[in-house]
């Protein structure tokens, strides 16, 4: 996932979907760990928006709640 890089750098953190989308616009990352459930909009929508804007460089890893009622959805189609 890191293409052989052994020194990943965290360039920012966000606590909501819209904040994550805005942050990716300012600091286009290589990897975006994304929760599917988050305040201010779900991670699926945020993931789609980030990939649409940065499809050539951004890789998005989705994480989800361990809740037994959580139903996975594909973030990118």
pLDDT at 24: 92
CA 41 to chain centre: 12
Domain holding 52, by residue range, is 17-63
Please tell me the distance from the alpha carbon of residue 72 to that of residue 77, in angstroms, as a whole number: 13
Could you tell me if 35 and 13 are in contact, meaning their C-beta atoms sit under 8 angstroms apart? no
Q: Domain total for the chain?
A: 1
Question: Does 44 map to a domain?
Answer: yes
Q: What is the radius of gyration, based on Cα positions, of the chain?
A: 12
Q: Which residues contact 33 (CB under 8 A, 6 or more apart)?
A: 61, 63
| pTM of this prediction exceeds 0.75 | no
Confirm whether 71 is domain-assigned: no
Instruction: Tell me the pLDDT band of 18, cut-offs 50, 70 and 90.
Output: very high
Residue 29, in any domain of the structure:
yes
Q: Is the pLDDT of residue 50 over 80?
A: yes
What is the average pLDDT across 44-49? 88
Any domain includes 77? no
Answer whether residue 28 is part of any domain. yes
41 with 13: CB under 8 angstroms? Answer: no
């Amino acid at each position: 996932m890191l293409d052989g890089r052994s020194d990943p750098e965290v360039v920012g953190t966000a606590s909501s979907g819209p904040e994550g989308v805005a942050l990716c616009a300012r600091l286009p990352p290589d990897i975006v760990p994304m929760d599917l459930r988050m305040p201010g909009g779900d991670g699926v929508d945020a993931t789609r928006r980030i990939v649409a804007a940065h499809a050539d460089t951004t890789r998005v890893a989705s994480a989800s709640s361990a809740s037994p009622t959580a139903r996975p959805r594909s973030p990118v189609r």
